[in-house]
Homo-oligomer: A and B are copies of this chain.
């Protein structure tokens, strides 16, 4: 019973009747990945990953993404030094979205804010600015 396995809490997929984690890369060239600060729980950014970017993230322990506009794999913080140290990767129920739980060096946003989500939809700035992008990007 799927329900029994689910209700038993922290279980390994190979030990119980929990479905394997299938990722929807066959139907999607890219999947969205949300980066969340492991300590504060803040949502820091959303970017996209290919299978290769995901593999590189797991191999290195540093968050990698895929830029759809530049059409290239990139390591977060490669230029700025604001790398993301991976603590855990979670997958959603449909296997078409990822959650990177990370420790963020510096700030996640290229504008200098800790989070890319530092504005409300009304334009109010509610996030914290943690670095000056002029000091980081040439």
Residues of A whose CB lies within 8 Å of any CB of B are 3, 5-7, 9-14, 18-21, 32, 34, 36, 40-43, 45-46, 58, 88-94, 97-99, 109-113, 116-126, 128-129, 132, 134
Each complex incorporates copies of this chain amounting to 2
For chain A, what secondary structure do more than half of its interface residues adopt (helix, strand, loop), or is it mixed? loop
CB of B125 within 8 A of CB of A11, answer yes
Q: Give the complex CA separation of A129 and B119 in angstroms.
A: 32
CB of B91 within 8 A of CB of A119, answer yes
Q: Which residues of B contact A13 (CB under 8 A)?
A: 119, 122-125
Given A10-B126, A13-B123, A34-B34, A46-B91 contact (CB < 8 Å): no
CB distance from A5 to the nearest CB of B (A): 7
